[in-house]
């Protein structure tokens, strides 16, 4: 585009001028049998926080010590809190028909579905977006993709992490950053992504489609909507050794043989002659290819 595209305009293009991030803290990781102990939903309008819904929930069962250590939520904190039945209607009213955003949304949407099923409520129709899947796709050079690591990457405070409200707020803010980054990809790349994930259960498909539609409307296969402000830290997969033991002087037998290097470092090493044989053949092939300039 000739003119810079601001975030508000980008959100409109992606049909995300309004969305709601949400998160549950629970008694465990089983969406069918565990129960919610805290719920948070934060609405974003034009990229700004506009409203919040946050409640501790009495799960009507004990909270384990491990869960308390992770979340900071104790049995005492929820003993006088409302139950699921008490808050369900207010919570669903808050969500309305907004697009929903969560980190690893598959887990949270299962919890939401089970909550509504238990209490006989209609979950409603929502487009759903997942910051975990987006982070793995867009920030592939990062070592981990949990919410804490991504929060630090984007300079967000992690104070209060593992509580629903803070995790939800950071999820929404991270989602905005990821939309900015996604918009740096041209139509030829977005089209390939759409073709690859079509018919799958991978999240964010509507996001790619909406971006692809706008890029198609502009009619430029190579250009993106915005310029990236992130620099990827690509790692080399070639290692060089300045020591006396040059890898070119180490044979496959030195590594895989019955008294080789693996035996000295692997406690469960078993000598397998065929393994050494195949490694030697690969070594010979590579040496021949180097000699004729193939590699």
Statement to judge: residues 264 and 176 lie in one domain: no
- How much is the mean pLDDT over the chain? 89
| pLDDT of residue 2 exceeding 70 | no
Return the CATH number at 61.
Answer: 3.30.420.10
Task: Report CA-CA distances (Å) from 293 to 108, 148, 287, 288.
Answer: 54, 47, 10, 9
What are the tens digits of pLDDT across the range 244-272?
666 667 787 888 788 888 787 877 777 77
Give the C-alpha separation, 178 to 288, whole Å.
46
Domain boundary among 166, 185, 204: 185
Indicate whether 166 belongs to any domain.
yes
Indicate whether 201 belongs to any domain.
no
Statement to judge: residues 107 and 13 lie in one domain: yes
Q: Which domain holds residue 267?
A: 247-291
Question: What is the per-residue pLDDT for 39?
Answer: 97
Statement to judge: residues 58 and 157 lie in one domain: yes
Domain boundary among 131, 161, 185: 185
Q: How much is the pTM? A: 0.78
How is residue 210 written in tokens?
Answer: 């909406």
| pLDDT of residue 36 exceeding 90 | yes
Helices (H), the chain: 7-13, 65-71, 75-78, 84-95, 105-119, 131-138, 147-153, 164-182, 187-197, 205-218, 252-256, 261-265, 273-291
Indicate whether 163 belongs to any domain.
yes
Statement to judge: residues 57 and 134 lie in one domain: yes
Answer whether 137's CB lies under 8 Å from 232's CB: no
Question: What is the per-residue pLDDT for 236?
Answer: 63
Statement to judge: residues 109 and 179 lie in one domain: yes
Statement to judge: residues 143 and 15 lie in one domain: yes
Domain boundary among 169, 185, 201: 185
Statement to judge: residues 179 and 266 lie in one domain: no
Q: Which residue has the higher pLDDT, 74 or 293?
A: 74
Give the C-alpha separation, 34 to 22, whole Å.
18
**Highest mean pLDDT range out of 180-184, 239-243, 260-264, 269-273?**
180-184
How is residue 103 written in tokens?
Answer: 């980190």
Active-site residue (options: 103, 126, 162, 266): 162
What are the tens digits of pLDDT across the range 120-162?
999 999 999 999 999 999 998 888 999 999 999 999 998 888 8
| pLDDT of residue 93 exceeding 60 | yes
Question: What is the per-residue pLDDT for 248?
Answer: 67
Statement to judge: residues 260 and 146 lie in one domain: no
**Mean pLDDT within 47-64:** 97
Is 126 a known active-site residue?
A: no
**Mean pLDDT within 221-236:** 78
Structural domain count of the chain = 2
Band of residue 294 on the pLDDT scale cut at 50, 70, 90: very low
Question: What is the per-residue pLDDT for 291?
Answer: 56
Answer whether 217's CB lies under 8 Å from 225's CB: no
Residue with tokens 């975990």: 132
Question: What is the per-residue pLDDT for 59?
Answer: 97
């Amino acid at each position: 585009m000739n003119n810079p595209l601001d975030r508000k305009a980008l959100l409109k293009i992606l049909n995300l001028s309004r969305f709601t991030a949400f998160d549950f803290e629970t008694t465990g990781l089983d969406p069918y049998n565990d129960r919610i102990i805290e719920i948070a939903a934060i609405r974003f309008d034009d990229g700004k926080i506009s409203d919040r819904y946050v409640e501790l929930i009495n799960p009507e069962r004990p909270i384990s010590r491990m869960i308390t250590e992770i979340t900071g939520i104790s049995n005492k904190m929820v003993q006088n809190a409302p139950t699921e039945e008490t808050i369900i209607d207010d919570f669903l009213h808050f969500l309305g028909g907004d697009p929903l955003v969560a980190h690893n949304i598959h887990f949270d949407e299962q919890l939401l579905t089970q909550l509504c099923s238990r209490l006989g409520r209609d979950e409603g129709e929502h487009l759903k977006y997942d910051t975990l899947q987006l982070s793995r796709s867009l920030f592939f050079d990062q070592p981990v993709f949990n919410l804490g690591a991504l929060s630090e990457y984007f300079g967000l405070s992690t104070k209060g992490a593992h509580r629903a409200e803070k995790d939800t707020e950071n999820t929404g803010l991270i989602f905005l950053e990821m939309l900015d980054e996604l918009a740096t990809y041209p139509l030829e790349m977005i089209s390939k992504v759409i073709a690859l994930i079509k018919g799958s259960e991978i999240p964010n498909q509507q996001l790619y489609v909406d971006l692809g539609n706008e890029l198609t409307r502009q009619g430029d296969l190579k250009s993106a909507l915005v310029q990236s402000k992130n620099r990827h830290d690509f790692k080399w997969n070639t290692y060089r050794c300045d020591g006396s033991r040059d890898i070119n002087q180490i044979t496959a037998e030195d590594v895989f043989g019955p008294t080789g290097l693996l035996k000295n470092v692997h406690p469960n090493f078993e000598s397998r002659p065929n393994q050494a044989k195949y490694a030697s053949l690969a070594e010979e092939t590579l040496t021949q290819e180097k000699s004729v300039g193939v590699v």
